Amino acid sequence: MRKIIDIMTVMLFFAFICLGGIMTSAAGRKAALSAFSAEQPVDEIQRSAAASFPASDKMQALCSRCARLFGQSAFDGVYYDADGGRLIDVHSGLDTEKAYAAAKAIDDFHAGAPELPAFVMLVPTASGIYRERLPESLAADDQQKLIDELYYAIDPEITPLDVYGSLFNVRENYIFYRTDDRWTPQGAYAAYAVSAQRLGAALYSVQNYDVEYTHVEFFGDLAERSGIRSIAPDRVNAYRCKFGSYVKSCDVTHDGITDNRTSVYSRSGLIKSDKYSFFLGSSELKTAHIVTTAEGMPKLLLIGSDYAHCFVPFLLPHYSEIMLIDPKQLADGETVDMFADTKDFDQVLFLFDLKTFCGESGYEKLSKR
C-alpha cells in the first residue's frame, strides 16, 4: 500500500509540473520551464517550483516529498533528521573571523567597565548538538570546539558559561524546535540550570515551574525553507514560576514603538507569523526593560540575540531589573551605551547563539564611537 501511495505521489508531482508549465507558458513565463533542466540541483528546482507555480506551498511540499523518495535528505541547507523527527539548519563554514571580532568587542566593552562583573554564554545551535546525526558530506561545523576556542580567546576576567554539555546531555528532549532554528524554553532551562550558580543565583528547580502549553501549533522557518510538513508541528510553551510572575513592568521597543506590558509572555505573538514573538512580544526587539518584584536583588544588563528572549523568564526571580539589548537590532549610529549606563547595573551577560555570534551580531555597536 505504501509503495502504491509513493508511486501516485511521483505521478502527481510530474502532473503538477506539466500543469504548471502549461499555465506559466500561457502567461509568458517561459523561464519557469527551464528551472527543471537536468543540470540544476534539486534545491534550485524546489525554489523555482515554489516561485513559479500555483499553490506554491503545496508544490514545494510535493517537490520535497518526491526528492525524499529518491534519497535526498537535505533541502536548501536544511537536513531532514527522520529518526529524530526534526529539521536541522546545517551550519557549515561559520565565519570565525567575525566571531573573533565579536569576542574582541566584548573584551573592549569590559575594558570600558572593568568594575562590572561580566559573563558570556555562547549557545550551540541544533546543528552543533546533533552534529553526529548529520552526514559527513554536509561538513557541519564542530561547534563545541569553536565555542571552546572563543571562550579561550575572551578576556579571562569575563566568566564563560559553558552550556554545550548541558544541552548535549538532554538532546533527546524538546530543547530545539523541530521546524525552527531556535531553542525552546526547555533548552533555555537546561542552560539556566548549569549557569545559575555561576551567576550567583540560587537555582530554581524545574519542579518550581508549571509548564503551560499553548493551543497554537506551527511550522517554522525550516519547514518553510525545506517544504517538509511530514513531521509533528511545533508548539510554544511557557514556564511559569509557582511563586508568581515576578514582573512589575516590561517595556519592549521594536519597530519604532514601545509596548508597555505586565508579562514577559505575549498572547498576541501567537497570531504573528513568527510564533517566537510569544516571548517578549517580538523576535526582533531592540530593547526590553523589565522591572521585577525581587526588590534588593542585583540589576542585570543582558546583551544578546533572540536566544535571550526565552531565557529571560528564568532570570526574573534573581534580578530586580533586567535591561535586554539586541545589538543586531540597533540602527546605524546607535550603540549600547545610548540605552544603558553600565554604572546602573551589577552584572552584564552576553548571550548569543553561535550562528549569530559568527554573523551579523552588531558587535561593532557594543562600544562607544
User: What are the tens digits of pLDDT across the range 241-297?
Assistant: 999 999 999 999 999 999 999 999 999 999 999 999 999 999 999 999 999 999 999
Domain shared by 164 and 57, yes or no: no
Domain shared by 17 and 58, yes or no: yes
Domain shared by 51 and 113, yes or no: no
Domain shared by 67 and 124, yes or no: no
pLDDT of residue 138: 94
In the structure grid, which three cell numbers stand for residue 200, read together? 550567583
pLDDT of residue 362: 80
Q: d(Cα 102, Cα 191) in Å, to the nearest integer?
A: 21
Q: Which contiguous run of DSSP H or E holds residue 130?
A: none
Which has the minimum average pLDDT: 29-33, 197-201, 219-223, 312-316?
A: 29-33
Domain shared by 120 and 148, yes or no: yes
Q: Is residue 82 part of a domain?
A: no
Residue 156 has pLDDT above 50, yes or no: yes
User: Dihedral angle at the C-alpha atoms of 205, 210, 215, 216, nearest 10 degrees?
Assistant: -30
Domain shared by 213 and 339, yes or no: yes
Count how many domains the chain has.
2
Q: Is residue 179 part of a domain?
A: yes
pLDDT of residue 69: 46
Residue 218 has pLDDT above 60, yes or no: yes
> Distance from CA of residue 298 to its chain's centroid?
28
pLDDT of residue 5: 43
Domain shared by 61 and 119, yes or no: no
Confidence of residue 58 (pLDDT cuts 50, 70, 90): low
Domain end position, chosen among 72, 100, 119: 72
pLDDT of residue 363: 86
Q: d(Cα 120, Cα 349) in Å, to the nearest integer?
A: 6
Q: Is residue 11 part of a domain?
A: yes
Domain end position, chosen among 11, 37, 72: 72
Q: Is residue 81 part of a domain?
A: no
pLDDT of residue 91: 96
In the structure grid, which three cell numbers stand for residue 182, read together? 531556535
pLDDT of residue 3: 46
Q: Is residue 80 part of a domain?
A: no
**Domain residue limits at 353:** 92-365
Residue 223 has pLDDT above 80, yes or no: yes
CA distances from 308 to 184, 188, 228, 276 (A): 11, 9, 28, 12
CA distances from 254 to 138, 258, 329, 355 (A): 36, 6, 9, 22
Domain shared by 227 and 334, yes or no: yes
Q: d(Cα 337, Cα 246) in Å, to the nearest integer?
A: 27
Domain end position, chosen among 12, 38, 72: 72
Q: d(Cα 76, Cα 90) in Å, to the nearest integer?
A: 10
Round to the nearest angstrom and report the end-to-end CA distance of the chain: 67
Answer with the residue of higher pLDDT: 44 or 142: 142
Residue 234 has pLDDT above 70, yes or no: yes
For residue 68, which amino acid is it?
R
Q: d(Cα 73, Cα 81) in Å, to the nearest integer?
A: 8
Which has the minimum average pLDDT: 5-9, 32-36, 317-321, 332-336?
A: 32-36
Alpha helices by DSSP H, listed for 204-277, are 221-226
Residue 369 has pLDDT above 90, yes or no: no
Confidence of residue 27 (pLDDT cuts 50, 70, 90): very low
Q: d(Cα 354, Cα 83) in Å, to the nearest integer?
A: 25
pLDDT of residue 36: 35
Phi and psi at residue 71, to the nearest 5°:
95, 5
Domain shared by 119 and 210, yes or no: yes
Confidence of residue 73 (pLDDT cuts 50, 70, 90): confident
Q: Which residues pair with 241 in a beta bridge?
A: 209
Confidence of residue 37 (pLDDT cuts 50, 70, 90): very low
Q: Is residue 100 part of a domain?
A: yes
Residue 337 has pLDDT above 50, yes or no: yes
Domain shared by 47 and 113, yes or no: no
Q: Which of 262, 240, 249, 246 is nearest to 319 (CA)?
A: 246
Domain shared by 144 and 63, yes or no: no
Domain shared by 147 and 229, yes or no: yes
Q: Is residue 83 part of a domain?
A: no
Residue 108 has pLDDT above 60, yes or no: yes
Instruction: For the chain, give the mean pLDDT.
Output: 86
pLDDT of residue 35: 38
pLDDT of residue 60: 53
State the DSSP code for 205.
P
Q: Is residue 85 part of a domain?
A: no
